[in-house]
Each structure stands twice: as C-alpha cells, then as structure tokens.
C-alpha cells in the first residue's frame, strides 16, 4: 500500500500564529504523523511517506543560536524535507519529484494545508480505484468531489471555538471613508469573513444598516470600480452575511445590535467568541455583560474613529478593519488629472455605466446651475442642494461625498474661494450627462411628435433601447439598465413617474413618465442628432416606403417595420423628427389601418405622390439608378469615383445615396474588390426605372 502525507509547513505555522495557538512544533509534527498513520490503516508511521513542504530557507537558525529548529523537528520525526522557495511552483515541484512517471499509483493521499493552491494536487496524482484522498484544513476546498475533509484543529487536538459576527455596517463604512479609504465591498466582505474565521468556526454573521436609504452609506464599489451602494445587501447575502435593516441614525443600529448580542449570548449553545464591528463607546455595557457570561469579546474598529474607552478597555481585544481588509486610500486629484493614452483592451469586459451617488452630485450640480443661472457654484450651495433633495442625510455626509468626488477627479474644489466645478472630461461626468440628455430628449420628442401628455414606461424603455446615441461599452445593456437610469432621473426630479388607468382596462393602473416642470423649462436638447441627420433620414423614409408599397402593391407601410428597417441609420431621434417633418409638409400620411393578421389596427405610413418633396426625392433616386444602368450596359466597373464623374454629386450626397442603394439591395459590394459594386439588375425598382416589366 502506497500512502502519502504532505504537510504544508508554511501555511500550517502561519495559521497557528494567527489563531494565537501556542503548540509545540514537535507536538504538531507528531500529531500529524500519527493521525495520518491511523487514517491510512498502517501499522507504523514508517510505512507512510511523509513530506514536509516549505521554503526552508526562512527557518534556518543563525550559527551559534540555541534551540531546535523547525527543520530538525520534522526531519527527526522522519519527514522528507522538500524545499520550494517559490510558492507558485509548489504543486508542479511536488508532482515532478514524487509523482512522476514510473511511480506506483497512490492508495492514500493526505494533504495538511490551509491554502487552496496545494490542494489542487489531488487532481494531478495518479491514484488507484479504491484510493482515499483527504484534506486537513480550515474549510472544504471547492469542486473536489470524493475528497474527505477534516478540520485541522481536530487532527491537532485544538479545541475549535465558535464565532458570531455583528457588523455595524453604516458605522464602519462611514468611518473608513472618513479616514480616506476606497470602500471596495468585495475586499471588505472577504477580509472580514477571513478574519472572523481566524478566531474559530463562524456560525453567525449579520450586518446592520438602513439599507436602501439614499446617502446613509459611504460610496461602495466592486472589484471593477462600479458604484454598488444600492446592491450592498445582495453582496452580503451572497457571502452568507445576513443584511439586517435598521432605521437611519446612529443609535438605531447600536440598539438593534446590543439587543441581539445580549439575547444571543444568553443561550448555553451560543458562540464562544462575539465580534462586534463598531467603534462606538455605547457598547461598553454590552461588552461587560457578554464577558460576564464567559464569552470572549473582540471589537473591530477603524483607527481614528474608534472610541478611546473601547481601545483602553483591558478586557477587550481590539482589531482594526483596515489591517485585515485590503483597502486602498484615495489618491488626491485636486488638480486636473494628466491625460492618459487611449488603450484598447481586447477581450476585457467593460463594466456597465450604472447610476450611483456620483450621479446625484452631477445631476444636482447641473440642475442647480440652471436654476441659479450661474456658471459655477460654492461648496455650501451644492451641500445644501444635496440635503434638500435627500441625496444625503446631513452636511457631514454631503461634505464627505464631495471630498471623495474631488479625490476621484469628478470635480475641482478651490479651498480658498470655496468654488466647486465639475470635471467635464471625467468619464463618469460625460456618461451621466449623455444618458440624461438622451433619455430626456427622447421623452420630450415623443410627447411632442405624438401629442401625448405622458409616455408609457414600457414604450420608453423600448425607445431607449433603440437609441444609437447610447451605444458603446457599458451603455444600454438591458431593460434593467434602462429602468435603473429612468428611476434615477425620477429620483433626481428630472422626470416624473405617475400611475394612470390603462386605456383598455381602467381598473388597472400603469406607470407612465413625463417631464418635470423644471425640465420643460430647460428644453434640453440631445446631442448627436443634427439637421443633416434628419434631412438624410427624410430621403431614406421616402425611398423605403415607395419601394415597399410598389413591390407589394400595398397602399401603406407599417410604421414599426419601417423603423426597424431604418434603425441602423437612426441617430438618436432622427427617424421621429423626419416623420414629423414629412407629415407637416404633406409628404406622407400617418393613419391606423386594418391588419388582416391581427384584431387590432396597425399604424402605417403612406406617401403622397404629388408632394414636391416626394417627387424630388424619387427623381434623384431614379437619376442615380439610370447612372448605374448606363455603367452596367457599357460593362464599366461601378465605383464611387465613376458615379461622381457621371452625376456631379458632392461627396456627402454620394455617400448617402450609395448607402441608400446598398440598404435597399439595389447594389452590393463586390467580394474581394474594394470600392467596386455590382448592380442587382432584376431588382423591382431597377426594372421600373429601366422600363422593364418587373418579375
């Protein structure tokens, strides 16, 4: 029988040190060896291949030192000392040295470690059909089916304590923020859980805060840098931390935590260790009561924000969150940041641009500028605005939020004059303004074109989804993304949400959106849609409707189908504006027509053939097709340059007509021949222009 015991000495000693366990190293080596012999069913430890893996250079004693070294202990117990100075190569080195080709298959493999990297060895070792694989560690390694897991403490005879963790999340997040830390919620949760596990088996974790209340928490980000304050409860729940709601205000969470700690510690089967993450001195009586029940109390605080009464209490163990959570500090960005070269990240997922507390700062800044008719604001004006709009609960949180915005480069703050201005080139500012302007313009344009008093919520989401002005990395990702931004604009007072009776069932109420009175006065225009865009879309609409109706022998074209066909060329709201212009000058008619495939009428568009704009546009099209026919009949190559000479068009008009001809399938690019095109000679419209009888 071939049995192996692999002891990760580096991880083992580090674990014992962090747990504060004072075990003789000789006792540890012997306990592991005897435990492995018993587990493998061997008669003697001599029948076991025991390997002690470590960077043994770190355990060398200087010459002349007194005492027994770690190497001597493991070597004296019969372990094979295997030196691996570079941790990342530990599994490869073990596999090559002990489990390479020609060695016998393993019947028993036991790995004693608290690190996951060496645990992956179980997938790479050749084992027999009846082999047993064991991991002795802190927690079961993921995705290792069939592996027998045992806690290291039980093997070494260390009594395992149970731990209960209570986090005053509002207090901790604000304290860390005030000390200048960037609150990465992933690092914060992982660090807290790992630190709690160093004190024993965690049986209860809860975090208290007024979840969902704007401005009560400091801004939180995830590992991508996305602001996720509103999603904090979900992050905690996924990590098995219970997000408990408490009312806003300092004392609310304190009272809730104090009550639950006192209630929980009263039971005989309660945790051995109570960890309270809050530096408030209000817990001193609670600490004393829990200590009186023979429970260990550990307090987690933040340096500079923890009560001195707590820090000086000799009965408490005080640990600081910033010591075990890998949080970074803000970098001062009072001056404009240096321009960075554009780097294209191929294959890298771009995080979605979602609403955050920065959105409140940006949107309220712009709204206040417009209302006061100013070009800059003082810090006091912006602080008051954020409080009035309930973006933050008080002046302290407002100043903290603006201070972080300055550090991240969203705004510039002159301490002498107290003047604050937005950094218009910051990506967050650019994206927030773009999204606001596109959505507001779409609402305003829809109300104007259709003569409605409001826009149906679902109709608006669909319209935003078709807005090509919002295309780009992290933008317009889903209906959820669009809903979040519409809700953000409602929350900031830019849009108004109402419930109105459904037109087919008045007993049902449906959500609708309209502009606020202030936004109507602003008359904000969306960027990207110009008069040229609308003029080009006019021609596309006329050509597409004429071709559809002529080819099918219909009198009208479904308006929705037409929009889907022209959507790739719809810059913002150019399609809506083009249709509006055509209706106003009498070029088209919009009406509801009977649909043979539906019980409901379909909104359609039809051309007024006698309208000057329609006749002029169709004549331009026919002239272009005649030029194509001439080249086709003379067997000349069709190219833009040849058409420019033949038609004497300016380059912009040529680009437009070439695009229209391709989108209408009149011409197609020649494969492998840049700038050359082929004419679809049997195309319905081409046949009409040529005087042929269409197929």
Read off the CATH number of the domain in which 76 is found: 3.40.50
Number of domains forming the structure of the chain: 6
In a domain, 56, yes or no: yes
Tell me which of 497, 522, 547 is where a domain ends.
522
Asked whether the predicted pLDDT for residue 246 surpasses 60, the reply is yes
Tell me which of 576, 609, 642 is where a domain ends.
609
Classify 213 as helix, strand or coil: coil
In a domain, 208, yes or no: yes
In a domain, 346, yes or no: no
Distance in angstroms (rounded) separating the CA atoms of residues 118 and 92? 9
Same domain, 400 and 279: no
Distance in angstroms (rounded) separating the CA atoms of residues 102 and 111? 22
Same domain, 467 and 490: yes
Contact residues for 533 (Cβ-Cβ < 8 A; gap 6+): 571, 572, 574
Same domain, 141 and 28: yes
Q: For residue 312, which phi and psi values (nearest 5 degrees)?
A: -95, 0
Buried b (16+ CB within 10 A) or exposed e, 552-568: eeeebbbbeebbebbee
Domain range spanning residue 672? 613-690
pLDDT tens string 50-93 = 999 999 888 876 655 556 688 889 999 999 999 988 888 888 88
- Predicted pLDDT of residue 548: 92
Confidence of residue 119 (pLDDT cuts 50, 70, 90): confident
The CB density around residue 122, as the number of other CB atoms within 10 Å, is 20
Same domain, 91 and 236: no
pLDDT tens string 387-441 = 888 887 788 878 888 888 887 888 888 777 788 888 888 888 989 988 998 898 8
pLDDT tens string 579-620 = 888 998 999 998 888 877 667 778 889 999 999 999 999 999
Distance in angstroms (rounded) separating the CA atoms of residues 57 and 38? 31
User: Which residue has better confidence, 336 or 164?
Assistant: 164
Same domain, 262 and 387: no
pLDDT tens string 490-519 = 888 889 988 888 777 777 788 889 888 765
The CB density around residue 218, as the number of other CB atoms within 10 Å, is 22
Classify 350 as helix, strand or coil: coil
Same domain, 171 and 313: yes
Same domain, 167 and 306: yes
Overall average pLDDT of the 365-381 stretch? 87
Same domain, 318 and 216: yes
In a domain, 673, yes or no: yes
pLDDT tens string 262-302 = 999 998 888 999 999 987 777 888 888 999 898 999 999 98
In a domain, 695, yes or no: no
Same domain, 171 and 303: yes
Confidence of residue 155 (pLDDT cuts 50, 70, 90): confident
In a domain, 595, yes or no: yes
Same domain, 475 and 622: no
In a domain, 344, yes or no: no
CB 147 within 8 A of CB 122: yes
Instruction: Return the axis-axis angle of helices 457-465 and 479-491, rounded to nearest 10°.
Output: 120
Same domain, 420 and 475: no
- Predicted pLDDT of residue 512: 87
Q: Tell me the pTM.
A: 0.51
In a domain, 350, yes or no: no
Token pair 């937005």 is at which residue? Answer: 422
**Residue 490, domain CATH:** 1.10.10
């Amino acid at each position: 029988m071939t049995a192996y015991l692999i002891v990760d000495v580096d991880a083992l000693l580090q674990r014992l040190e962090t747990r504060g366990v004072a075990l003789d190293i000789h006792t540890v080596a012997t306990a592991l060896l005897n435990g492995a012999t018993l587990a493998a069913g061997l008669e003697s430890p001599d029948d076991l291949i025991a390997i002690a893996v470590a960077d043994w250079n770190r355990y060398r004693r200087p010459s002349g030192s007194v005492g027994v070294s770690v190497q001597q202990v493991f070597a004296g117990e019969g372990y094979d000392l295997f030196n691996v100075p570079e941790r990342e190569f530990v599994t490869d080195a073990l596999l090559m040295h002990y489990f390479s080709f020609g060695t016998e298959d393993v019947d028993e493999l036991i790995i004693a470690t608290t690190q996951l990297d060496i645990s992956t060895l179980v997938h790479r070792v050749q084992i027999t059909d009846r082999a047993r694989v064991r991991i002795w560690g802190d927690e079961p390694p993921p995705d290792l089916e069939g592996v027998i897991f045992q806690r290291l403490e039980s093997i070494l005879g260390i009594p395992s304590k149970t731990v209960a963790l209570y986090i005053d999340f509002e207090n901790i997040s604000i304290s860390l923020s005030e000390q200048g830390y960037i609150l990465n919620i992933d690092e914060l949760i992982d660090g807290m859980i790992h630190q709690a596990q160093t004190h024993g088996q965690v049986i209860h974790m809860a975090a208290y805060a007024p979840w969902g209340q704007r401005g009560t928490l400091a801004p939180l980000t995830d590992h991508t840098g996305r602001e996720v304050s509103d999603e904090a409860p979900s992050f905690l729940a996924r990590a098995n931390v219970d997000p408990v709601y408490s009312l806003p205000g300092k004392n609310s969470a304190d009272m809730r935590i104090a009550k639950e700690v006192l209630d929980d510690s009263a039971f005989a089967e309660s945790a051995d260790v109570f960890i309270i993450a809050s530096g408030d001195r209000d817990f001193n009586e609670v600490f004393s009561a829990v200590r009186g029940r023979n429970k260990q109390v550990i307090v987690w605080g933040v340096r500079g924000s923890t009560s001195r009464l707590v820090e000086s209490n000799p009965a408490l163990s005080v640990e600081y969150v910033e010591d075990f959570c890998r949080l970074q500090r803000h970098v001062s960005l009072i001056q404009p940041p240096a321009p960075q070269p554009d780097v294209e990240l191929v294959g890298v997922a771009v995080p979605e641009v979602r609403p955050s507390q920065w959105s409140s700062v940006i949107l309220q800044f712009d709204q206040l500028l417009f209302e006061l008719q100013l070009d800059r604001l003082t810090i006091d004006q912006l602080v008051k605005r954020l409080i009035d709009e309930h973006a933050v609960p008080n002046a302290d949180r407002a100043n903290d939020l603006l201070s972080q915005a300055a550090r991240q480069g969203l705004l510039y703050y002159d301490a002498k004059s107290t003047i604050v201005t937005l950094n218009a080139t910051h990506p967050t500012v650019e994206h927030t303004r773009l999204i606001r302007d596109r959505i507001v313009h779409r609402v305003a344009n829809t109300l104007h074109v259709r003569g409605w008093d409001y826009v149906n919520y679902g109709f608006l989401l669909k319209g935003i989804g078709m807005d090509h002005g919002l295309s780009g990395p992290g933008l317009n990702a889903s209906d959820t993304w669009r809903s979040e931004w519409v809700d953000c604009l409602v929350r900031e007072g830019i849009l108004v949400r109402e419930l109105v009776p459904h037109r087919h069932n008045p007993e049902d109420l449906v959500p609708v959106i309209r502009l606020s009175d202030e936004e109507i006065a602003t008359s904000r225009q969306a960027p990207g849609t110009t008069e040229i865009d609308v003029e080009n879309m006019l021609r596309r609409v006329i050509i597409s409707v004429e071709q559809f109706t002529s080819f099918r022998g219909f009198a009208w074209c479904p308006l929705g189908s037409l929009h889907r066909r022209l959507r790739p060329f719809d810059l913002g709201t150019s399609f809506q504006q083009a249709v509006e212009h055509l209706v106003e000058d009498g070029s088209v008619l919009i009406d509801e027509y009977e649909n043979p495939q539906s019980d409901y009428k379909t909104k359609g568009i039809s051309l007024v053939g006698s309208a000057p704009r329609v006749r002029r546009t169709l004549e331009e099209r026919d002239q272009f097709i005649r030029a194509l026919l001439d080249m086709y009949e003379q067997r000349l190559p069709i190219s833009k340059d040849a058409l420019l000479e033949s038609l004497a068009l300016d380059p912009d008009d040529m680009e437009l007509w070439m695009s229209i001809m391709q989108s209408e399938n009149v011409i197609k690019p020649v494969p492998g021949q840049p700038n050359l095109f082929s004419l679809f000679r049997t195309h319905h419209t081409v046949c009409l222009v040529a005087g042929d009888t269409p197929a």
